[in-house]
Amino acid sequence: MALAGRLVDIHTHVYLPRYCSLLRSRNTVPRILTSSHDGKPDDRLLILDHEPSGGRPVGPQYWDRDEKIKFMDRHGIDLSVVSSANPWLDFLPASEAKTLASQLNEDLEQYCSESPQLSPSLKRLYGFGLLPLVPEISIAALLETVEQIYKLSYLKGIIMGTRGIGKGLDDEALDPVWAALEKTGLVVFLHPHYGVDEKAWGDKDNGHVLPLALGFPFETTIATTRLILAGVLDRFPSLRILLAHSGGALPQLSSRLASCIDHDPVVASRLSHDARWYLGKLYFDAVAYGPEELGFVSDVIARSARFGSGSPATLDKTVDRTLGSKRMLFGTDHPFFPPLQSTEKWKSVVENLQAIDAVSGWGQAEKEGVRGDNALSLFNLV
């Protein structure tokens, strides 16, 4: 395969200039607070209620395509599938969200189409589009936007938060949207923003650590579990859903989930398969920062085949974790998690690359798969 050995980043964000203008014009979160410190601009991004530490410092790495390419060059990343960062359009009224989604999808198409060539047939940048997933939007408007994204050559999927049109992703009103996404083959990148209720974090100052390290993965775990419990993966078996942060806590809680389902009269026998089976239908980014985590996620994917209805569940054989690697894809979370001190390479990126390299039981083919080949295949970039 001509492109073997490519490094592809499928978890990398942008606030497009049009979106930044909106954030700068706002008085409430999400917003960019523009000020200066000693004559230098000191812009701060505030995306969460009660943002700790006065917000994150933001600069051109959040919106400038040249900065994205520089970051990629510095870390040896050949190709990136870029997505708008949270909270997307969640805070907008329906009509505004629809218009802005459409404009931002066009903007991202241009952002990608004008990026350097990687090869005669490939650009260095592709993108995940946005749907106007907000309360009171019409399903027709969502379907129109799916169609728009499908027609834009450089957009290969959509990024989605967990609130749907206000009631979460287990809302059956979304069924036509899932159907359209399944039919078009667009990859759905499921990404958190809200975490869980902040009362859980207590009153000590721990900066962003608790909402980011725990709240984000919890939210992804809840949303995916609710998708499973609502039968979405039964009704739309060809949906291609990519989970941020390696699925959060879902892999580690998946056998507990299966057991709780088995023991609850309300849900027992509602699903077509054991809960663990559905994890083998999902894709997981490899943004977990440790080789043991990645190896475990690949075990959980690999074992899923044992749990289809009708499969005799056998626990007595070691799973082949090379199989699970096929659904895992390298990502960086750029431009978030910048190093506190200036360094040539970002620690967060180096750690995720080292983690892939150090997974016990993965050979060269699995590692190259996770580094890039799986992404090229998932996004049909050949």
Which of positions 262-321 make contact with a second copy (CB under 8 A)?
262-268, 276, 288-293, 295-296, 299-300, 303, 315-316, 318-319
CB-based contacts of 259, cutoff 8 Å, min separation 6:
none
What is the distance between the alpha carbons of residues 66 and 105, in angstroms, rounded to a whole number?
Answer: 19
Q: Taking the complex as a whole, how short is the minimal distance between the CB of residue 298 and a second copy, in angstroms?
A: 10
Q: Please pick, from the candidates 25, 117, 342, 360, the single residue that binds a second copy as defined by CB under 8 A.
A: 360
Nearer to a second copy, 16 or 223 (CB): 223
Q: Least distance from C-beta 164 to a second copy, angstroms?
A: 9
Distance, CA of 69 to CA of 132 (rounded, Å) = 28
Report the residue from 64, 113, 358, 377 that binds a second copy according to the rule CB under 8 A: 358
State the nearest-atom distance from the C-beta of 320 to a second copy, in Å. Answer: 11
Nearer to a second copy, 129 or 195 (CB): 195
Candidates 143, 253, 305, 323; binder of a second copy (CB under 8 A) is 253
Name which position in 26, 70, 167, 345 contacts a second copy (CB under 8 A): 167
Nearer to a second copy, 278 or 379 (CB): 278
173 counts as binding a second copy under rule CB under 8 A? no
| Residue 116 per-residue DSSP state | P
Taking a C-beta distance cutoff of 8 angstroms, is the pair 8, 81 a contact?
yes
Q: What is the largest CA-CA distance in the chain?
A: 68
Q: Give the chain's end-to-end CA distance (angstroms, integer).
A: 9
Among 36, 340, 342, 380, binds a second copy (CB under 8 A): 340
Q: By CB under 8 A, which span of 22-30, 37-45, 122-130, 240-248 interacts with a second copy? A: 240-248
Which of 59, 87, 176, 338 binds a second copy (CB under 8 A)? It is 338
113 near a second copy, rule: CB under 8 A: no
When binding is defined by CB under 8 A, the residue of 72, 257, 376, 381 that contacts a second copy is 257
Site string for a second copy, 176-215 (x = CB under 8 A): --------------------xx-xxxxxxxxxxxx-xxx-
Q: How far is the CB of 248 from a second copy (least distance, A)?
A: 8
**Phi/psi of residue 13, nearest 5 degrees:** -115, 160
Beta carbons of 5 and 376 less than 8 angstroms apart:
no
Question: Does 343 help bind a second copy (rule: CB under 8 A)?
Answer: no
Of residues 12 through 31, those in contact with a second copy by CB under 8 A are none
Here the tokens at position 240 are 């291609």
Distance CA 354, CA 51 (A): 31
Binding residues for a second copy restricted to 41-70, rule: CB under 8 A: 52-53
Print burial letters for 175-206: b (CB count within 10 Å at least 16), e (below 16). eebbebbbeeebbbbbbbbbbbeeeebeeeee
Q: Quick check: 329 binds a second copy (CB under 8 A)? A: no
CA distances, 311 to each of 243, 261, 308 (Å) = 26, 18, 5
Rounded to a whole number of angstroms, the minimum distance from the CB of residue 305 to a second copy is 13
Least Å from the CB of residue 301 to a second copy: 10
| Minimum gap (Å) between residue 79 Cβ and a second copy | 24
> What's the burial of 337, exposed, middle or buried (CB within 10 Å: 0-12/13-18/19+)?
middle
Q: Distance between CA 8 and CA 247 in Å, rounded?
A: 19
CB proximity list for 322: less than 8 A, separation 6 or greater: 298, 302, 361, 362, 363, 365, 366
